[in-house]
Amino acid sequence: MDERFAFLAEWYDPSAALLRRYQLLYYPKDGSVEMFDMKNQRTFLRRTKFDELHPEDLFVGNRVNIFSRQLNLTGYGDQYTANKLGSKKERTLAMIKPDAVTKVGNIIQMIYDANLIVTKAKMTKLTWKQAADFYMEHQSKSFFNNLVQFVSSGSVIAMELMGDEAVTTWRKVLGPTDSGVAQKDAANSLRGQFGTDGTKNAGHGSDSLASAARELEFFFPSTTGHGPSNTAKYSDCTCCIIKPHAISEALTGKILKSIIENGFEISALQMFNMDRVNAEEFLEVYKGVVAEYTNMVDELCSGPCMALEIHATDAPRTFREFCGPADPVVWSQQVSGVPELISQHTIRGKIWEVMKRQSTQRRLPVRDTA
């Protein structure tokens, strides 16, 4: 019998206004899927090959798109799957401190390179009290006040990371707590590259699974509330969406790095999972205007996206110019010399070149909107 992984999944049916529950079966041998209707006790989808679902997408809490249905994976469907996959999917809290926020692109690339994935992210500005509550375990330490003062002095970026031994792996990426030591003993670590001392040391990482659970709940509460507020300014800005396929192809770090290096300020950042209704509403201005509208909606709700507030003078115009043409492939086929121009001067062109080298599917990595 072929190996299979089983997950409990939920799908909200907007037509019937019902939450439908399924068992999702995934067969790694050929990438096929099968779905079983839990309520009606019958097969909903016979075993069918589905190339858009990958083993790395299979973890509790993720949202996957199966033939235009957004399924929330709520639990393991059997003990074999829990034993096989559950122990490999640790979660930890990563925080980029104020001194390294402008290096977010580099840092996210380091996260990808360490075989970790970012499942949640938010830029926020902690109050003194919030920072003190977060570091309450260090309250008796001599460095406590300086640490709280520094962490509350500017924006931070909190992220949930997931992967094999995520707690240990992320702390290894961070390097020694003292940046001076890191620069000597682990020069390629995050603190070795971007830290200054023991407090201004670029990042924070949970030291255990128990600490990770507490710290993730602080920034990304699972019950009530939304955690610390975001940093959106809502003035002199435009919105940029890093699309799901770019995130799944590990292009997020490169995109953020290019945005910052070209003089734009990322004044707010947050990852979202959009359902189809919200995606249709967000893109409604394109309905009946562009032939790709349905495909645009499909893409936006196919996985996590990252919303950015881009702050700059005349941001809508300058950032759209920076992003480049909506379809660089078509333009490059029609205009002589354009591929080189796009690659040199626009984010879509640069990322397009990366995607071609990686032999990925040809879809745009970012969307800009006034």
pLDDT class of 63 with cuts at 50, 70, 90: confident
Tokens representing 259 are 């945005």
Q: Residue type at 164?
A: D
Q: Is 97 annotated as a binding residue?
A: yes
The answer to whether 245 touches 363, Cβ cutoff 8 Å, is yes
pLDDT, mean of residues 66-75: 90
Could you give the residue range(s) of every CATH 3.30.70.141 domain in the chain?
A: 89-219, 237-369
pLDDT, mean of residues 82-105: 92
- Please report where in the chains the tokens 């881009």 appear, as a residue: 310
Per-residue buried b or exposed e for 231-260, using 16+ beta carbons within 10 Å of the residue's own CB: bbeeeebbbbbbbbbbbbbbbbbbbbbbbb
pLDDT at 285 (0 to 100): 93
**Helices 104-113 and 166-174 meet at what angle, rounded to 10?**
130
- Please report where in the chains the tokens 């955690």 appear, as a residue: 227
Q: Is 146 annotated as a binding residue?
A: no
Q: Is 201 annotated as a binding residue?
A: yes
- CATH code matching the domain that covers 237-369, chosen among 3.40.50.300, 3.40.50.620, 3.30.70.141, 3.40.50.150: 3.30.70.141
pLDDT at 323 (0 to 100): 86
Q: How far are the Cα atoms of 67, 108, 198, 199, 203 from residue 174, in angstroms, in the given order?
A: 39, 12, 12, 13, 7
pLDDT at 329 (0 to 100): 60
pLDDT at 195 over 50: yes
- Segment 165-185, tens digit of pLDDT: 999 999 999 999 999 999 999
Domain spanning 89-219: CATH 3.40.30.10: no
pLDDT at 200 over 90: yes
Catalytic residue among 204, 226, 245, 311: 204
Q: Is 143 annotated as a binding residue?
A: yes
Specify the CATH number of the domain 5-87: 2.30.29.170
pLDDT at 338 (0 to 100): 39
Q: Is 220 annotated as a binding residue?
A: no
pLDDT class of 351 with cuts at 50, 70, 90: low
pLDDT at 94 over 60: yes
Strand pairing of 63-66 and 90-96?
A: unpaired
pLDDT at 360 over 50: no
pLDDT at 335 over 50: no
Tokens representing 59 are 């973890």
Active-site annotation holds for 345:
no
Could you give the residue range(s) of every CATH 2.30.29.170 domain in the chain?
A: 5-87
Helix (H) / strand (E) containing 146: helix 144-151
pLDDT, mean of residues 71-98: 91
Taking the C-alpha atoms of residue 271 and residue 160, their distance in angstroms, rounded to an integer, is: 10
pLDDT class of 340 with cuts at 50, 70, 90: very low
pLDDT class of 356 with cuts at 50, 70, 90: low
